[in-house]
Amino acid sequence: MSRSALPTEATMGDRLRRLRSERGMTQEELARHADVSVDVVKKLEQGQRASARLTTMTALASALDVSLSELTDKRPRLDGGGDRLVLGLRDALQDSTLLPGIDPQHDAGEATPLPALTRAVDAAWRDYWSGNFVALARTLPALLGEARVSASANGAATAALAQTYQIAADLLVHLGRDDLAAVGAERAIAAAAGGEDELQSATLYGTFAWVMLHQGRPAESAALATRIAEQVEPRMGSAPQQHIIVWGGLVVTAMASAAAAQQDVDELIGWARAGTARLGSDRRGYQITFGPTQLAVQTTHTRVMLGQPDKALAAADGVDRSDLLTVEYGRHLVDVAQAYADMRRHSQAGEVLHQAKDLAPVWFRHQGPARSLVADLAERQTRLSPMLRDLVRSLDAR
């Protein structure tokens, strides 16, 4: 299979070799610092492998002191408007008028009434969860401006402002702008600090932990999510459902991060089961879903990350599709496909990836694990099947 089978300006091996050379490291030194096989490093650089497991890529990025996005080519692919739209988000997040000592703009206009602002934020969340990233990237800068004006005039709007920053952070992670996503997450936490909703604040710390995971800092991410979960741990017999949902979201974030750091997750899974038993079924609050299906989804993910595909597929049996939003289910399908690939059931892996792609094509081509897996499947074939050829083409949009 040609190294250029996947649409990318440089192969994984090209990027890895360049970054290693810039740091004056040999292949053996990089392998030792990342605690991976030198054979993996050599095969990636020589193009004999087009991809590697996410845990391996995270370790290599950490050893090279770069973000995971820089190593995995996670560039915006927003139908031709990627860079322009990301720059719009950057400018909105890093508006110079927000600096201390700078007078706010006098032409900011009147504050948007809170009900209208809330509806706009809800619409932005719908775009996010449906994978409609192009529309979301276009509307978010203006929404951030409106939310800031409203929050400065009405303290009750700080929750909407915090959520708008949170959406920006979440989107930017998918667009491979992890450091800018961290700015959004920090601003969300700061905005929420002006309110009195402890659960929203806890949720935003979970968002920051998720950003850290994508920055290639899984151990720190797991520690943060676990710490906040401990701080807000509910009394299972009397806590409101919303409290359990937020706490459960932090626990499953800690699970994913711990697995990426190759840490044991059994205790966290047991911890989460106590919450799902209290809820009985999947419930949603604060843009978080938690319950039996969500735990099954996250258990599938952690088992894949830990190289336990049989346990991953067993956990996937507990997933109820009707409990999941579009991109939640799509991400789960990528994990299922990876489990099949790890068991050398490549045809089934391709079929499941195709299902994920059909759910939300723009979202799909921003998923590093999906791109890596498509590359891995493609390099195993001398001639691409029509289904695999379609998957490769689907990753080509800019």
The 3-state DSSP class for residue 285 equals strand
User: Which pLDDT score, from 0 to 100, does residue 152 have?
Assistant: 87
Q: What pLDDT score was predicted for residue 43?
A: 84
Rg of the chain taking only CA atoms, in angstroms: 21
pLDDT of 7: 43
Highest mean pLDDT among 102-106, 156-160, 243-247: 243-247
Rounded Cα–Cα distance for residues 56 and 268 (Å) = 23
- Contacts of residue 115, defined as CB under 8 A and 6 or more positions apart, other chains included, come to none
Contact residues for 337 (Cβ-Cβ < 8 A; gap 6+): 348, 349, 350, 352, 353, 356, 370, 373
Residue 5 pLDDT > 70, yes or no?
no
Q: Which of 23-27, 74-78, 214-218, 296-300 has the lowest mean pLDDT?
A: 74-78
Residue 185: what pLDDT? 97
Residues ≥6 apart with Cβ < 8 Å to 102: 96
Q: If you average pLDDT over residues 244-266, what whole number do you get?
A: 95
pLDDT at 375: 83
pLDDT computed for residue 102 by the predictor: 65
Handedness of CA 313, 60, 203, 333 (dihedral sign): negative
Comparing 319 with 13, the larger pLDDT belongs to 319
Q: Among residues of the chain, what percentage have pLDDT more than 90? A: 52
| pLDDT(306) > 60 | yes
Q: pLDDT band for position 130 (50/70/90)?
A: confident
What single DSSP character describes residue 267? H
Sign of CA dihedral 31, 34, 35, 36: negative
Q: What is the pLDDT of residues 141-155, one digit of tens each?
A: 999 999 999 998 888
3-class secondary structure, 289: strand
Per-residue pLDDT tens digits for 218-227:
999 999 999 9
Residue 157 has phi, psi (to 5 degrees) of -90, 0
Extract the tokens encoding 89.
């988000």
Residue (of 363, 305, 366) closest to 52 by Cα position: 305
Number of C-beta neighbours around residue 259 at 10 A: 26
Residue range 342-357, pLDDT digits in tens = 999 999 999 999 999 9
Domain ranges of the chain: 1-73, 79-196
Q: What is the structure's pLDDT at 60?
A: 86
Topology given in CATH for the domain delimited by 1-73: 434 Repressor (Amino-terminal Domain) (1.10.260)
Structure confidence at residue 311 (pLDDT):
96
Question: H/E element holding 37?
Answer: none
DSSP type of residue 175: T
Mean pLDDT in residue range 82-99: 80
pLDDT of residue 4: 41
Residue 120: which of 143, 148, 141 has the closest Cα? 143
d(CA 93, CA 86): 11
Q: Tell me the pairing of strands 288-290 and 283-285.
A: antiparallel
In percent, the amount of the chain with pLDDT more than 70 equals 88
Structure tokens at 121: 């934020």
Average pLDDT of the chain is 87
Distance CA 115, CA 282 (A): 27
The yes-or-no verdict on residue 2 having pLDDT over 50 is: no
